[in-house]
Structure 1
């Protein structure tokens, strides 16, 4: 062995003893999500900040695509079992059971334990939502519930206090009645107290909130029967139909986003939409509004929502070092999620929600007051096959094309067929 080679071997040995490697390789993680709007810009900045702080150690490459194609692209990428498939992803919590049942998600119980996190660190409502069949597959980043937006000027004109919004069924009905009027005297209502649209987000968020408030559910307790045609569920839909077609406090036949336009124009007193609408309304010139939690319109408070969860994909060849790097990334984003909240979200972490920085986001902080009242879609892999007939039933009933009881009976039958097929495979 030459003297030069002997010295080289000696130096390598010293490096191995002192650092564990000659040169630690930078770990690269592929992070996929569907944040195509301003929220994507915000998440991109957070990823850049993480990469800068972990330069030479961890590099996160973020790939963004439309939510409409995201889930299928994830399935396709994972099926190829290639290095280009994602390591980490964002998944709506209602999709977690579907992907967990396919075996493409990693169990995160140990990772969560290693991070020192437990139910005490998160909103209870969303902490349990990421668990499927006793195992954790999702780590909650946020909660995005339905919210109540009020036009403060219309409240004042009607003799209502915009700082004391309706919280009970009687207060809500009184408020929307007072703000429904014919403003130009032509005999036609042109300003409404609220809106129950037949299209998004009516069937997906507003009516599921009412369904749960009136004591209804999508499935029975042991998840063997679709029960959207229960007397409670029918009462919830009849309540909405009555406001639209009998009382006239909501416009009829609203086209997609028509109620958003009415609210922007100052012709809608109370508008129900997701928390993600905050920044859009703040940018609307002349719109004097405030954001609040959805009020109780039934027997108990329940607010439909969803949540972005971090998931780790089952990928061949992933090392413990890569899992540790992914956990470090999730911890960083979670710890700094007040930045994410600015884009219209409620942080899932209690410490972030209780921070002064979050309290300064007055709209988000106001809506977050009832974060523990948020309810999620049924925790079953075929949830979409049960929910879709329900959404169609709501649409037909709000349009006045079917009676609520008939529409929900049809939805229950269609959902039951899907559920029976699923149960036969279990």
Structure 2
């Protein structure tokens, strides 16, 4: 009996030593594993600091609830002004977030640095194509033949009108200006000296020298008058073409010659005028909708911008989902990230309520989206939406343009001088980038 016990103990010791040396520790954990250890936690960075961030947080909570025990997304929000630099810092230190949001005009810059994961293979099973999204924004997520971005939304320049001012001027708020002639007629009817002191105190519109004037309004004008930012192969700055000069001259003329827009507007001064009922037509991004809706005294409606020139091109941006490249590839995490992107995309009617147009066709066709009268109205102009040219050096090309347009609208430079000065600086930066890449 004693010999048998000793033999059994020896056998147990041998088996234990054998298993301990040859079987992964996970084998033992399998039978008593806490479910929390199985959850894939994804870090998701963005710059949604306003109400849109609260909306995204609600959508993430719902995704986490539906995928409890499998995937959990943790969102980190920071100001857009610092977001991109923080992304660069995190990537260089080997601590990149799993996924993030990137503006469409910054995507080529980061894709060219090979810090984004190509998505073609990852989303292959989803069978997504331009048939599922607005084609222009779907195509904009491709750089050098590979997809790096999945579009969440489209945020174009829009026109906001004061309904009461329109009616008082004998204009139909349900039939806003669409052509150059209709716009000029409306802006003249809305511009008034209401107290008879010889000074205009009610304006038809405003073309501000600061945001969003250079960034959205003037760039829309450039495309409307037949101009462009770069040539097709991205080697030449073209916004100082005769068409571009004519576009900027249009804005300068409206402000300084026709005096149908206030001059010397400070940052957001035109927003204040619109809120005060002193501006008939306000041009700004679709993201202004909810802020205006919060002001119960403001009776307004939203529309696509009219044609000031040959067409009704409207400069737009887009938030795109990206998956950041990690030092060590983890397919499980990448697939979890795609699962999250798929959920948000297919449920982006909720995102639309925070002042965006969903990129996904089926969502825009839904009754839920159509019930959002402001967003649905602006979305009717999607066929005229244009995006900045997708070039890694775009920021260096556009910065001089924004600075010089500011001076031109302030009346400190002619359109030709401003655009030529901007193009000279931008061309040097573009040439340097193209030489080195």
- Fold agreement, TM-score > 0.5: yes
> Retained in 2: the 8 A contact 1:124–1:372?
no
Distance 2:41 2:233 in 1: 43
Partner of 2:49: 36
Gaps of 5+ in 2: 1-10
Alignment of 1:78-93 (within 5 A): 78-82=91-95, 85-93=96-104
8 Å contact from structure 1 (residues 266, 287) kept in 2: yes
Distance in 2 (CA, whole Å) between partners of 1:326 and 1:26 is: 13
- The correspondence for 1:313, drawn from 303, 306, 324, is 324
Q: 1:62 aligns with which of 66, 75, 81?
A: 75
- For 1:302 and 1:195, the matched residues in 2 are separated by 18
Say whether 1:168 aligns with 2:179: yes
1:135 aligned to 146, 159, 168, which one? 146
Instruction: Name the SS of the counterpart of 2:100 in structure 1.
Output: strand
Matched, 1:353 2:356: no
Contact preservation (8 Å) 1:32, 1:90: yes
Give the Å deviation of 1:301: 1.9
- Which consecutive unaligned segments of at least 5 residues does structure 1 have? none
1:117 aligns with 2:163: no
| Larger Rg belongs to | 2
Matched, 1:72 2:85: yes
Corresponding residue to 2:63 among 37, 44, 50: 50
Distance 1:271 1:250 in 2: 11
Quote the Cα distance in structure 1 between the aligned partners of 2:329 and 2:303: 44
SS at match of 1:252: coil
Per the alignment, do residues 265 and 317 of structure 1 end up closer, same or farther by CA in structure 2, a change over 3 Å counting?
A: same
After TM superposition, what 4+ stretches of structure 1 lie above 3 angstroms from structure 2? 19-24
Name the SS for the 1:52 alignment partner. helix
1-structure distance, mates of 2:268, 2:131: 38
Shift of 1:318: 3.5
Give the equivalent residue in structure 2 for 1:222: 233
- Counterpart of 1:254 in structure 2 is 265
Task: Write the distance in 1 (CA, Å) between the matches of 2:401 and 2:280.
Answer: 27
Q: Does the CA-based 8 Å contact 1:112-1:118 persist in structure 2?
A: no
Deviations 1:5-36 (A, max 9, x none): 99xx9xx9xx99xx999767111111000011
Deviates more, 1:217-226 or 1:131-140: 217-226
- The yes-or-no answer on 1:178 pairing with 2:189 is yes
Separation in 1 of the partners of 2:92 and 2:238? 35
Deviates most, 280-289 or 160-169: 280-289
Compute the TM-score of the two structures, normalised by the length of structure 2.
Answer: 0.92
2:115 alignment counterpart: 104
Secondary structure class of the residue paired with 1:174: helix
CA RMSD for the aligned pairs? 2.0
CA apart distance, 1:277: 0.3
Q: 1-side partners of 2:199 and 2:337: how far apart?
A: 58
Would you say how many aligned residue pairs link Structure 1 and Structure 2? Answer: 416
**1:223: how far off?**
1.4
Contact 1:125 1:371 in 2 (8 A): no
Paired residue secondary structure (2:207): coil
Shift of 1:2: 5.2
Is 1:27 the counterpart of 2:43 in the alignment? no
